[in-house]
Amino acid sequence: MEPCYSCLNPSHEVSALTAEVNRMNFLRWEPLSHDLLDKDVDAYSRLLAARTGVSARMACNYVMAFHTLRQFPLVLGLQRQMWLLDLPRISLVFNHLCSVDERHYEVIDACLYHFLCPTKYDQELPSAREIIKHVNAILADLFGVDNLDGVVAREPKGVRLSDVSEGRSSLEITTDSVTGRAMWAALKSVAKRFSVSLEEAARKIFFDGRDIDVKVVVHAHRLEGTDDLYVPGAGFLSTEDRSRWVPIQRSMDGVEDKVSCAYHTPDDMKAFMDMRDGQCRGPSCSRRVEDTDRDHWHNFTGANTQVSNLVSLCRRCHNLKSAGTLSYALRADGAVSWTLPDGSTSTNLAVPRSRLFGQTFAQRIESRAENLRTFVQLLRSHALESHPPDE
């Protein structure tokens, strides 16, 4: 059987209709993106909104995305051949790419084409988030930075106060994952010590902080054969994180072959599965891996808790499997092959802006390109500060 995506399999009636819907949406929006650059953003978007029934913002995103898609001939040809990308994927992915310098298009086109070509029969179509994650990895390599997301994710994003109801306010603190988890652990520690609610514990930390001493332990797993440290749920520790925290290291050497007699999954196996699975491995499910159970593929016998027999499933997918509604097989290459209620199969692969009045689409694209150039320069500066060149 030839490789294909399960949602586009022509032998399934609903899948065939999905491909037809994608084709009709393409034929509807692609012609509207021609001769776009000199058009006024607001005026044209409002015109399209009146003609199509979508919001002006969505219309703007659609035509900009289709304008960009036409610059990637390999992906465009794959789309015309399979009609694999729906409107949300086209809009999110190619609006993401519209700010990239055209000299990078050929490389991105080839890499993205290879990523989007199915390799197995009834394979799951990557989500828009998974495609963008792959695109970011390509861009990071092209721009010579470690990761387009990682540095920004580790930088504190600030503190925001908002009124949620009469007499009550919400205080939101956005920071990097490791610090956030450490703050959460400290908050729970204070709440437990003084037998108070988390809200009262936060008040104590803020207003009685000098009298409160809290010890927080960060458990990090070291990958076999490397010095990389991984914190479950937070990702890999940067050099800056290592200098800020003194993590307790747990080696992951040999964890892939480790066998436990316990039903509950040991921490090192969980960390390995976090990196292997990336999210819930249920069919067409993308819940965070932190919100999943560790399901035994073959029922627990007392000596078969090992990563080759464990799959990360959210509670809903886990319940469907336990009830017999769905069943799966975990392959040696890490793919999960699901059998659906109608007997068909689906293969899950591991995943380890401002607006200006009177602005043309060309000006908007250039504005986004300038923002991207500035962002990349900040990443490079951050990398130099974290890893200064040897003198």
What's the whole-number mean pLDDT along residues 157-174? 72
> What's the token pair of residue 185?
């652990």
The answer to whether the CB of 62 falls within 8 A of the CB of 87 is yes
Instruction: Please tell me the total count of domains within the chain.
Output: 3
Is residue 225 located within the same domain as residue 336?
no
Whole-number pLDDT of residue 328: 92
Is residue 148 located within the same domain as residue 225?
no
Residue 151 has pLDDT above 90, yes or no: no
Residue 367 lies in a domain: no
The answer to whether the CB of 252 falls within 8 A of the CB of 239 is no
Is residue 245 located within the same domain as residue 319?
no
pLDDT per residue as tens digits for the range 282-301: 887 778 888 899 999 999 88
CA angle, corner 149, sides to 268 and 101, nearest 5? 145
Torsion (CA) 109, 110, 113, 118 in degrees, nearest 10:
-170
Residue 308 lies in a domain: yes
Is residue 140 located within the same domain as residue 16?
yes
Dihedral sign from CA coordinates of 182, 185, 187, 193 = negative
Whole-number pLDDT of residue 383: 56
Residue 342 lies in a domain: yes
Residue 164 lies in a domain: no
Distance CA 33, CA 73 (A): 16
Is residue 145 located within the same domain as residue 58?
yes
Residue 243 lies in a domain: yes
CA angle, corner 24, sides to 18 and 25, nearest 5? 90
- Of 127, 152, 177, the residue that ends a domain is 152
Residue-range definition of the domain harbouring residue 64: 6-152
Distance CA 157, CA 183 (A): 15
- Top-confidence residue, 152 or 192: 192
Is residue 16 located within the same domain as residue 69?
yes
Strand pairing class (248-251; 219-222): parallel
**Cα 162 to the chain's mean position, in Å?**
27
Is residue 299 located within the same domain as residue 267?
yes
Sequence length of the chain is 391
Residue 49 lies in a domain: yes
- Of 152, 169, 186, the residue that ends a domain is 152
Is residue 263 located within the same domain as residue 298?
yes
- Of 152, 186, 205, the residue that ends a domain is 152
Is residue 244 located within the same domain as residue 267?
no
Is residue 134 located within the same domain as residue 272?
no
Is residue 142 located within the same domain as residue 18?
yes
Give residues with Cβ within 8 angstroms of 258, minimum separation 6: 266, 268, 269, 306, 307
Give residues with Cβ within 8 angstroms of 168, minimum separation 6: none
pLDDT per residue as tens digits for the range 54-87: 888 889 999 999 999 999 999 999 999 999 999 9
Residue 77 lies in a domain: yes
Is residue 301 located within the same domain as residue 246?
no
The answer to whether the CB of 247 falls within 8 A of the CB of 227 is no
Percentage of residues of the chain with pLDDT beyond 90: 26
